[in-house]
Structure 1
Amino acid sequence: MIYGIRFPAKVPVMIEKESIVKKLRERPDFDINEEKVIPLEDLTVSQLKDKAKQAGIEGFADMKKPELIKALKRDLAPVDNDPPVNDPGNKEGADGKDADSNNPPTA
């Protein structure tokens, strides 16, 4: 937990503010990966086609730059199937049963 925010273990988080990165470097429980992220719009068509090939996108060879960017963004978008920790819509209790069924209403 940092600044009152609880992060799931080993989930990458991009932090652009150098002062925060500096503080995280001092902590032993954070792994810092300082790779530069280049926006897809700044890549050449050849580089985009290489990324599309690695991502397994079909028909990438005939695509133009805007189509490649759209396909890559759709394919590379993170998928988060986990509900939020304190999701008010999640009525499941810790035992996997409906939370309301554990505590029937009293009269």
Structure 2
Amino acid sequence: MIDSIFRLSESIRYVAVYRNGQLRSKSRTGLSGASSSESDRYEELLVNPALLKLASQRGNIDCGGLDYLVVRYGNFFQFVLPTEWGHVSVCIEPDAEPIRIGELIMLQCLREGPC
């Protein structure tokens, strides 16, 4: 799944799949403004699951649920897609269109199996 997501856009910097407690990730080489791999690991294990939990609970009250999250950090966007088994997280260049790329990611996940 990671390699097929990278093929969606040159603007994708990093892809992580957190599936049933197992984290797999991959980054493009030679990126400027990239976070460290250790920082990325904690984001996937702690930050993104917590953000998804909070946003999902709020969304389920009276907003129709949660489809995805987009976080705008100073150096990039982070697109986070909740799944029944964890999440898919994709770092996107700051000059790209994260919603359009996120829609491509969701379609790719549907092709490769339920996300």
Fold in common (TM above 0.5): no
Please give the TM-score of this superposition, normalised by the length of structure 1: 0.27
> Which structure's CA Rg is the greater one?
1
Could you say which structure has the greater relative contact order, defined with CA pairs below 8 angstroms and 6 or more residues apart? 2
Select the structure that is richer in strand.
2
Please give the TM-score of this superposition, normalised by the length of structure 2: 0.26
